[in-house]
Structure 1
C-alpha cells in the first residue's frame, strides 16, 4: 500500500519513466543471458526448460514431487557425456564426471568453492548459518587458518581416545534395541541411529550429555529444519518471495538461532572454565580453544568462525553418519548373504567382547567394505562444486572461465562405466586387492578440502555396526519403501523399520 501511494505521488510522467527503466533493465538482463548462452552453448547439455530460468524449473518440479535431482543429473550424464552444461538465469554450471578433470580441480587449492552455493550457506534466509566455517570458506588462506586450528582435534592419536565414548553411546543403543527385542516391537533404525550420532558428536565435541534415546531435545528438529531450509534456500531463488513459505522461513531462522546461541554459550562457558583453571573435558571444543590460543592475530571474526564450525560439526558430524548407518542396515537387510558374511567377521574379530578397541576396527576389513559400498550407492553428502577462474579443457571440450563445476559422487557411483552393475550392492568392489576407483568415488570429497571428520565418522559407524551385528538379528519389516529422501543430504525415506531379535 505504501509503495502504491508513493507511485501515485510521483505522477504519471515519473511512473512512466520508472516503467520504461524497468523494461529497459529487463531487456538488458535478457541480452546478458543471451550472451552467456552464446558463450557456453557449444558445451553439450539438455534443452533448457525456459530461456530465462533454464534448467532450474526442471529441478524444482522434481523437488515438488519429492524426487531426487541427482537421478536426473545421472540420466543427463549418460546422455551428454563427462561434461555437460546447465543454465539457471545467467549462471552456468557444468556437471563433471571426467576422472582426470575431477582430479585436477578437486586436488588443487586454486579452484575455490563455488561462491554462488557456498555464499548462500553463509546464512539461511538472513540468519547466519554455516558462516565462513570449514565447509563454506572460499578464501584458501581463511580456510587454511581454520583447518590448522581444527586438525589436532581430529588426529589419529586424539581419535583413539574417543573409543570409550563411541562404545558407551553405542551401548545405549544396544539397550534400546534389547527392549525392542524383548517386547517384539518394531524399531525405526534411522531414528535410533540419529539419536546415537547426535549424542556422540555432542559429547566428544562439546561435552554435552543429551542422551536422546531417553530424553527429548529441540536439537534434532532444529537440525532437520535447517537442512530442509538449506535445500530450498540454495535450489529455489524465489522461495522467499512466496508468502505461503513465511511460516516455514521463520522456523528455519529460529532453528539457526537456537544452534548458534547454544554454541556461543558452550564456547563462553568453556573459555571461562579454562581461564579459571577448572577441570574441563578433553573434547574437541577444548582442543580447538587451546590451539586457537596459540594463533597470532585472533580477532572477533575468528571467534565467530568458531561458532560457524560449531554449527558445522553439530549438523554434519551427526546427519551424514546417521544416514550412512541407516542405508547400511537397509542394504544388509536386503542381502542376507552379505549380512551373514559380515556377522561372521564380527564374531571372529570381537567375539563376546563388550567394548571394541582401536585395533579391532582395523581388523574389521569386510565391514569397512560394506560401509564404503554403502557410500558408493548412497553418498549422504552427494556432491561438491568449484569455481573455474580461467579457461580449461575437459575431455576435449573448451570451457571458458567463469562457470562453476559440480562433482557428484552419487552420479559417478551409479555409472556403469565406473562400476559394473552399479545398482548391485557388492562390498567386494572395495576388497583390498580390488582396483581402486580412479577419481570417481569421493563421498567425503577429495584434496585439501576433503572432509576433516571422515575418519571420525567411519570409526563411529564401525563401532555402532559391529555392536549391532554382534548382538542382534534384524529383518526389514515388509512393505516399506527403499526410496531416498533428498533434504540436501540423502537419507532413507522409509526410516529403515526392522524387527529385532537377540542373537543366540
Structure 2
C-alpha cells in the first residue's frame, strides 16, 4: 500500500511528510496476512489514532492499546504479565537466541544487570570519537558524489554499521564485517516476514520457509562471532574499551554470573542489529524531514556550524548545545519510530480501558498510531520539531520510540548520541534537497524503513 505523498513543489502549511494510509475497513485472516507481509503497519485501523483501544479477532483475540495509562500498566506495572508475543520470539529467536531482547523473567534480569554498565553515560561518551570519525568518512563519500542524487538511507546504513562494527570489533582485523552485515540484512529481509504459522501461533520448531533460506548465512555469522569473542577473551585489549571488552568484563552484580560464549554472541548480535539499524533509520528519516522543510534545515545548519566553530569534529560535550538537531531527531522518531508496532501476549486475566483481557490474548502497541494520536498530539501528522521545545507537557507513555519501563532499550543513549553527532556533522557541511518524484514509502517488516530509499541531492555549503 503506497504512502500518502505531500504535494510536489512549493510547500505550504497544509503539506505533510509521507505517511502510511491506515485501513478503514475490517480485514480477515488472509487479507491481514497479505497486508502484514507487505507492510505490517497496513493492518492498523485508522480509528486507532482516535480511540484509546481497539479490539478484534484474526485467528485469535487481539487488542491495540494507545491509552498512556494502559501502556504504563503493560510496560511497567504488570511487566511480567505481558511478555513479548510468540510471533516476536519466533521471528527473532533463530538470529539472536535467548538474548536480552527475547528473554523473560529471571533470565532477562540477570543479563540486563550484567550488560547495563557497558551502556553507562561515561562509556557511551567515550565512544563519541568513533561516531564522528564515521561521519567524517561519510562526508568524503558525499563529496565524491557531487552532482548526483544520493540514497541517504544506504549511506546511513553504511555509516552506522561502520560505527557499530568499530565499537564491537575494533581490535579484530580478521573479522569480515561485510559478511556479518550481509547475513543480518538477508535474515531481516527473508525471515522477518510474518508467516501464516506465526499468525496462528504454531510453535517455532515448525519450519518457516523464509527462515530456512537465510539460516546458513546466520549460522556462519554466529560461528564468526563466537571466534571473535573467544579470541578477544584470550588476549589483553589496549586503549579505550570497546563494546566487546565491556561485555566480556560484565557480570551480574548480585550473583557474579558472567555470560558464556553463546550468551555473549546472542547479545552481541542483538546490539549489532539494533545498534545500527535503528540509528540508520532515525538519521534517514531526519534527513528526509530536513529536505522536506528547508527552513528548519537552515536553522539546524546554523546551530551546527556555530557549535562546531573552528573545530574539525563534534564531541560528546557538544550535544547539549545541539538542541534543535536533537529535536529534529526526536520528531523523526515520533513520525517514523523504528519499532513502529510491538506485541505482547497476556499471561494473566486483566482489564485495560475497561475491557476484558484474557490469558493468551495478543496485546499490541501500535507505536506508529500512538505517536500520531489526535487526542495526544497537536497536528499529529505534521513535522514540528518545535513541539519538543515549547514547554508543553508530553505524556511519558505517549512517546515510546525506545519502549519504556524496565525493558526500555538499553542502547537508547548510544543511539541518540550517535544520531545527533552524525546529523550535526552532515548538516554543517552539506545542504540536502529532495529529488522530485522520489519520496520514500514508509514500510514496516521488522522495522519502519523508507522503501525505495531516501534520495536527496547533497550540495556542499
How far is 1:73 from its partner?
1.1
Please give the alpha-carbon distance, in whole angstroms, between the structure 2 residues aligned to 1:314 and 1:234.
25
2:100 to 134, 144, 155: 134
1:255 to 208, 214, 217: 217
Structure 2 SS opposite 1:398: strand
Please give the alpha-carbon distance, in whole angstroms, between the structure 2 residues aligned to 1:258 and 1:411.
38
Structure 2 SS opposite 1:292: coil
Q: Which has the higher helix share?
A: 1
CA offsets, 1:200-235, max 9 Å, x none?
Answer: 11111232678x9xx992333322221123432566
Structure 1 SS opposite 2:420: helix
Please give the alpha-carbon distance, in whole angstroms, between the structure 2 residues aligned to 1:121 and 1:71.
19
Give the conservation status (yes or no) of the 8 Å contact 1:199–1:209: no
How far is 1:130 from its partner?
1.5
Please give the alpha-carbon distance, in whole angstroms, between the structure 1 residues aligned to 2:49 and 2:390.
29
Task: Write the mapping of 1:382-421 to structure 2, written as runs, cut at 5 A.
Answer: 382-421=340-379
Aligned pair in 2 of structure 1 residues 196, 463: CA closer, same or farther (>3 Å)? same
Give the conservation status (yes or no) of the 8 Å contact 2:131–2:163: yes
Please give the alpha-carbon distance, in whole angstroms, between the structure 2 residues aligned to 1:238 and 1:369.
37
In the alignment, does 2:53 pair up with 1:83? yes
User: Equivalent residue for 1:204?
Assistant: 167
Task: Write the mapping of 1:126-275 to structure 2, written as runs, cut at 5 A.
Answer: 128-138=94-104, 140-181=105-146, 184-207=147-170, 217-233=178-194, 237=198, 246=209, 248-274=210-236
Select the structure with the greater relative contact order (CA < 8 A; seq sep ≥ 6): 2
Task: Write the mapping of 1:103-118 to structure 2, written as runs, cut at 5 A.
Answer: 103-108=72-77, 109-118=79-88
Structure 2 SS opposite 1:202: helix
Structure 1 SS opposite 2:311: coil
1:423 to 361, 381, 396: 381
Please give the alpha-carbon distance, in whole angstroms, between the structure 2 residues aligned to 1:234 and 1:341.
45
Please give the alpha-carbon distance, in whole angstroms, between the structure 1 residues aligned to 2:170 and 2:56.
44
Please give the alpha-carbon distance, in whole angstroms, between the structure 1 residues aligned to 2:194 and 2:224.
23
Please give the alpha-carbon distance, in whole angstroms, between the structure 2 residues aligned to 1:288 and 1:216.
19
With the length of structure 1 as denominator, give the TM-score of the two structures. Answer: 0.79
How far is 1:327 from its partner?
0.8
Q: CA RMSD in A?
A: 2.9
How far is 1:116 from its partner?
1.2
CA offsets, 1:456-492, max 9 Å, x none?
Answer: 0011111110011101112122110321122310111
Please give the alpha-carbon distance, in whole angstroms, between the structure 1 residues aligned to 2:42 and 2:388.
24
In the alignment, does 2:69 pair up with 1:100? yes
Please give the alpha-carbon distance, in whole angstroms, between the structure 1 residues aligned to 2:58 and 2:260.
34
Aligned pair in 2 of structure 1 residues 227, 208: CA closer, same or farther (>3 Å)? farther
Task: Write the mapping of 1:477-488 to structure 2, written as runs, cut at 5 A.
Answer: 477-488=435-446
Please give the alpha-carbon distance, in whole angstroms, between the structure 2 residues aligned to 1:99 and 1:338.
30
User: Equivalent residue for 1:39?
Assistant: none
Structure 2 SS opposite 1:84: strand
Please give the alpha-carbon distance, in whole angstroms, between the structure 2 residues aligned to 1:385 and 1:260.
27
In the alignment, does 2:57 pair up with 1:62? no
In the alignment, does 2:257 pair up with 1:291? no
Give the conservation status (yes or no) of the 8 Å contact 2:91–2:191: yes
Aligned pair in 2 of structure 1 residues 412, 283: CA closer, same or farther (>3 Å)? same
Please give the alpha-carbon distance, in whole angstroms, between the structure 2 residues aligned to 1:78 and 1:166.
36
Structure 1 SS opposite 2:397: coil
How far is 1:95 from its partner?
0.9
User: Computing the radius of gyration over CA atoms, which structure comes out larger, 1 or 2?
Assistant: 1
With the length of structure 2 as denominator, give the TM-score of the two structures. Answer: 0.86
User: Equivalent residue for 1:454?
Assistant: 412
CA offsets, 1:175-215, max 9 Å, x none?
Answer: 1111112xx222211111101101111111232678x9xx9
Q: Which runs of 4+ in 1 moved over 3 A?
A: 46-49, 233-240, 248-251, 278-281, 292-299
Give the conservation status (yes or no) of the 8 Å contact 2:36–2:42: no
Aligned residue pair count: 433
Give the conservation status (yes or no) of the 8 Å contact 1:193–1:325: yes
Give the conservation status (yes or no) of the 8 Å contact 1:270–1:280: no
How far is 1:341 from its partner?
1.6
Gaps of at least 5 residues in structure 2 are 1-23, 203-207
